[in-house]
Amino acid sequence: MAFELLFAARFRVRKVESARFPMKGKLVLNVQARVSRQGVIRRYRRWLPEIPDDAIATIGEGETPLIEATGISARVGASLFLKFEGMNPTASFKDRGMTVAMSRAAATGSRACVCASTGNTAASAAAYAARAGMECFVVVPAGKIALGKAVQVLAHGARIVQIEGNFDAALKLSKRIGEELGDVTLVNSVNPDRIEGQKTAAFEVAEALRDPPDAVALPVGNAGNITSYWKGFCEWRGAGHAGSAPRMLGFQAEGASPLVAGHDFESPETVASAIRIGSPASKEGALSAARESGGLIESVTDEEMLAAQEMLAREEGVFCEPASAAGIAGLLKLASEGRGPGGTVVSVLTGHGLKDPDVILGRVQLPDPVPATFEAVAGRMER
C-alpha cells in the first residue's frame, strides 16, 4: 500500500528561502510544506449539493496534474494533455464522487454504505467510509478484482462479498440492499452525488487550460465518468466561464462494449478490469454526452489498450492502469483513420498503474541475477 500512502500525503513543497546558519557549518534550507489539500467539496462548494461542515469526509482529493504529452501529441495530431486521476488519494478518479456521496450519507445518518465494484469504486468507498466512520460492504464478482484494488479494500477494513456472477449482478444486489435497508447508502455512480463530485474534474481542466479543450477522450465502463465530465463542462459554460464545451470521445473495451454494439453483454471480457461491464448504469447519460457534444463512443481492443499503456509509461513517464489507456488507444486509432479531433485534447487517465500490477508482470519478467561484480553488471548493461 506504499503507493496509496504516497498519493494520500502528496507533499507539495515550495522553497521560501535558503541561507547559511552557524550550525556546525551545515547549509539549512528553510522550506514550507503544505501537507493537506482542501478537497473538492470545499473548493467547489457552490457547484455541489449542500453538505454540513461536520459531515465532510475528505482525504484531499482533486487538484490532480494536467500533464502535457509532448511525445504522443505528434502521433494523435493534437496538442495532448493527460489528466492523471491516478494521483487522487486512493489512486483513481472515484475519489471525487466518493467524497460527496459519503459526506452526504454521513449527513443523513447512514451507518453503512454498499457498492458493487470491479475494484476502483470498492477501494475508494472503503477509504472514504473509514474516514467517515461508517461500515463499508463491497459486492464483487468472484476472481474479477485486480490485486492492487483488493488489497486496498482489505487494508481499510471493508467487508468483501464475492458473488458467483458479473458486475451487473453485483450492482443489482447492491441496489436492492440500498433500497431495502434504510440506514445503508448505495455509493455506486447511480447515486447522483457521485456524478456531482466527479464533474469537478471538468472544472479543473477548464481552469488549468483557461478554457475547455476541443475534445476530451476517456474510457467508458459503467459510463458515470463521461456523464459527469459533460455535466461539468455544460455547467461551466452555462455559468458564463466559457463559450464552448468539448467533444466527448468515449472508448469501451471491444469485449465489453455494449454502448457500441447497441445491446448488453452478458459475459463481458477484457484485460481492462475497470471497464469490464456489460450493462452500464449511466448508459443514457453517456449516449447523451456523445450526442450533444458532437462526440462519439467507440471501442478499442485489449492489444491497443496495452500498447497505449506501454507508450504512456515509456515515452511520457506516466504509469496508468490498462483501462485508463483506452482514451489514448482511441485517439491513436482515430488519428490512423484520419478522424482525429485536432486542437487541444485532454485524455483522462482514470487510475494508477499500480492498481493492476498483474497485467505488467504477465508481460515482463525480472532478468536472472548476475554476480555482484563490476564486470558482470557492466556486461549486462552492454548486452
**pLDDT tens digits along 88-105:** 999 999 999 999 999 999
Nearest to 67 by CA among 286, 324, 333: 324
> Would you say 300 and 253 are in contact if contact means Cβ atoms under 8 Å apart?
yes
For residues 339-355, average pLDDT? 96
Burial of residue 54 (number of CB atoms within 10 Å: 0-12, 13-18, 19+): exposed
The CA-CA-CA angle for residues 90, 92, 310, to 5°, reads 120
Spatial separation of the C-alpha atoms in residues 107 and 22, rounded to whole Å: 54
Banded model confidence at residue 3, pLDDT cuts 50, 70, 90:
very low
If you count DSSP H runs as helices and E runs as strands, how many of each does the chain have, helices first?
Answer: 16, 12
3-class state of residue 17 by DSSP = strand
Nearest to 340 by CA among 351, 348, 330, 326: 330
Over residues 263-318, the pLDDT tens digits come to 999 999 999 999 999 999 899 999 999 999 999 999 999 999 999 999 999 999 99
Q: Within its chain, how far is the Cα of 324 from the centroid?
A: 7
pLDDT of res. 142: 87
For residue 259, the surrounding DSSP H or E stretch is helix 258-261
Over residues 22-44, the pLDDT tens digits come to 333 333 323 333 445 799 999 99
Over residues 278-290, the pLDDT tens digits come to 999 899 999 999 9
Domain with CATH 3.40.50.1100 in the chain: 40-92+193-361, 94-190
Q: Which fold has domain 94-190?
A: Rossmann fold (3.40.50)
Q: Phi, psi (5° rounding) for residue 91? A: 75, 25
Quick one: CA dihedral 330, 308, 346, 188, positive or negative? positive
Over residues 38-67, the pLDDT tens digits come to 999 999 999 999 999 999 999 999 999 999
Between the two ends of the chain, the Cα-to-Cα distance in Å is 35
Residue 264 cell numbers, joined: 448488453
pLDDT of res. 36: 57
CATH classification code of 40-92+193-361? 3.40.50.1100
How many CA atoms lie less than 13 Å away from 203 in the CB half-sphere?
22
- Write down how long the chain is: 383
Residue 314 cell numbers, joined: 515509456
Distances (CA, A) of 368 to 15, 67, 365, 376, 380: 43, 35, 9, 12, 11
> Would you say 98 and 130 are in contact if contact means Cβ atoms under 8 Å apart?
no
Residue 59 cell numbers, joined: 482525504
Q: Checking DSSP bridges between strand 112-116 and strand 135-141, what pairing results, if any? A: parallel
Rounded mean pLDDT of the chain? Answer: 89
Burial of residue 64 (number of CB atoms within 10 Å: 0-12, 13-18, 19+): buried
For residues 156-182, average pLDDT? 91
Spatial separation of the C-alpha atoms in residues 178 and 367, rounded to whole Å: 49
Q: Within its chain, how far is the Cα of 180 from the centroid?
A: 30
